[in-house]
Amino acid sequence: MCVRGAFDRVALGDIDLPEGVLLILARARLALEHGKGLGGVKYNGLWAVVVGDLPAGHGLKVIGMPMPPGE
């Protein structure tokens, strides 16, 4: 199954990605469409947030908190 489209080739610079990664990208794109720009994707048993329309010209400040031991 090939899910790589024109957007992937432009955004990823024609990098050859494993099929599993391509499937995760496709699920992320579907989550963005369904959530109108915001969604969640589960991969390898973990959840990730997908957000569309972020500025590409500069970095974003990321704020986090350490998790307690055992979490």
Distance CA 50, CA 52 (A): 7
Identify the pLDDT of residue 4.
44
- Residue 52: which pLDDT band, with cuts at 50, 70 and 90? confident
Please state whether the predicted TM-score (pTM) of the whole model is above 0.85. no
Name residue 36's amino acid. Answer: K
Q: Quick one: which H or E segment has residue 40?
A: strand 38-43
User: In this structure, is the dihedral angle defined by the CA atoms of residues 43, 49, 53 and 57, taken in order, positive or negative?
Assistant: negative
The DSSP call for residue 12 is H
| Residues 32/33/35/39 CA torsion (nearest 10 deg) | -20
Mean pLDDT score, 45-71: 86
Domain around 62: 1-71
Number of domains in the chain: 1
Q: Is the dihedral of CA 11, 1, 41, 71 positive or negative?
A: negative
